[in-house]
Amino acid sequence: MPDSGAMTDAVPDIPYLAQLVREQMPARLAHVARVRGLAPVAPDAAFTYCDLGCGPGFTAAAVAALHPQATVHAVDVQPGHAESARALARAGGLANLHVHTADFRDLPALPAFDVIALHGVWSWIDAATRDAVAAFLADHLRDGGYAYVSYNALPGAAASAPVRRLLQRHAAALPDTMDPAVKARRALAAVQDLRDQGGWFADNPVAARAVDDLATRDPAYVAHEFLGGTWEPFYHDTVAAEMARAGLAFAADAEPALNHTDAVLPDAALDGLKAAPDPGAVELHKDFLLSRGFRRDVYGRAPAALDEAARTEALLGAPYHLTVDRAAFTEQCHVGRVTLTLRGPAFDLLLDGLEQGTARPADFPRVQGLDAEARRAVATAVDFLVARGQAELALEPARPTRAAGRALAFRPALNRTLLDAAFRRGGAEQAAAISPVTGDAVTVPRAHGEALLRAADGEAVEADTLAPYLRLGVLDDA
């Protein structure tokens, strides 16, 4: 999932996919830092944020809209991407979003940042450009700050390299004037025909499944992922070494569940990890055991460490809300290669409290009377609820239900632009809106998105359709 850092490595004739990357949202980054016992960049305080390789700017705009106290800079080499980001800033009235058109090797003067995000960048830029990005991180990330870096990971991505080679050879035989997405679709059809004949694909079923997966993807994604000039997967320890040279150390996995090695691997695999000589080797071993093909790493520059008591209180002191009704809560869930059971007094206490609405577990009367060990159990429980997507961080309280007939408007105003682009001007089957309650993305299927747009236009819409979006603040009183 590349973006463009250097024009020579991008697919310049087609815009990158418009998407919100929830793993680089400030609330998510703060949570995984707390989970790993590190002081976060507080999402409710003033902070500076850089989206380096912002694509069309959806995530940068979401950060700016949800955090008006923050200063956000978005950088991309493609003029069309930068103009899209500027248009979002104008549509959302986002005076705190500053957009730059620049190559990573020739960046403008920028301030120091508390957060720098690179989504879909590291594996798709050449070595010289990676050196320039590492130098930028070294010079511009503040002490106590975090960098989000996603990349194609080995060994899981290894099977994709031969598939990429085939796609590129077939695409190269097509006219240069052909739309890159059409090229990708035709090249993929040729690779599918070859896959169906067996041979190497029969001997390598992971690669065959990779071809099947690509067939379900937007051709624009296939073009960006495989038809650009640079595509290089990395072992975790290779990336960690590059970050170390910039003065950063691995801090957390942006996917919350994967920060719990003992919860994603069976006991036999955990025994094997005891041979890992250091924490970096543990991450590498996990990638082999989970066959990870994509990583979302968080690196920190000298973040303050929290002792166990401080970590517990940091987790309990953050606000959360349930993402599912109590009746729909799932006790058993699959994480990595194991099945977890989310059951017990700590989970009951949390569900009872959060069922009433957004809250900080530390404020629950039943929590306030607990000893240190029991408080740690509640902190662990909330950690797992978030990891499994049954609870989320919250920036502000969930909204009460509205009476019928009240005028509604999108909040933030950017949500109208996002949904209008997806459903009225585009043919998307789902889109992401942003929630001022969670500080995160909300997936909106087409039928609901069209209903929300009608409601904001003053039309009557079924209350049950509106209710979850009203609760999350996607719509609010006009």
Q: Which CATH superfamily is domain 7-154+233-300 in?
A: Vaccinia Virus protein VP39 (3.40.50.150)
Give pLDDT, residue 403: 52
**Other CB atoms within 10 Å distance of the CB of residue 229:** 14
Query: Given phi > 0 = left and psi -120 to 50 = alpha, else beta, which region is 275?
Result: alpha
Give pLDDT, residue 398: 72
Beta strands at 71-76 and 48-52: parallel, antiparallel or unpaired: parallel
Amino acid at 204: N
Q: What are phi and psi of 35, to 5 degrees?
A: -55, -40
Give pLDDT, residue 10: 47
In contact, 58 and 120? CB cutoff 8 Å: no
Separation of alpha carbons 403 and 320, rounded Å: 25
Q: What are phi and psi of 31, to 5 degrees?
A: -65, -50
Whole-model pTM: value is 0.91
- Burial code (b: 16+ CB inside 10 Å, e: under 16) for 357-396 equals ebbbbbebeebeebeeeebbbbbbbbbbbbbbebbbbbbb
Q: Which two tokens stand for residue 244?
A: 């170390």
Give mean pLDDT in consecutive 10-residue pieces for the chain, a chain of 478 residues.
45 52 93 97 96 94 96 96 93 96 96 97 96 98 98 95 95 93 95 95 94 92 88 96 97 94 84 83 92 96 98 96 85 77 92 90 95 96 91 80 71 90 88 87 93 94 90 86
DSSP 234: B
Terminal CA-to-CA distance of the chain, rounded, Å? 37
Separation of alpha carbons 162 and 194, rounded Å: 12
Separation of alpha carbons 289 and 285, rounded Å: 6
Supply angle C-alpha 379, 385, 387, rounded to 5: 100
In contact, 253 and 298? CB cutoff 8 Å: yes
3-class DSSP assignment, residue 252: strand
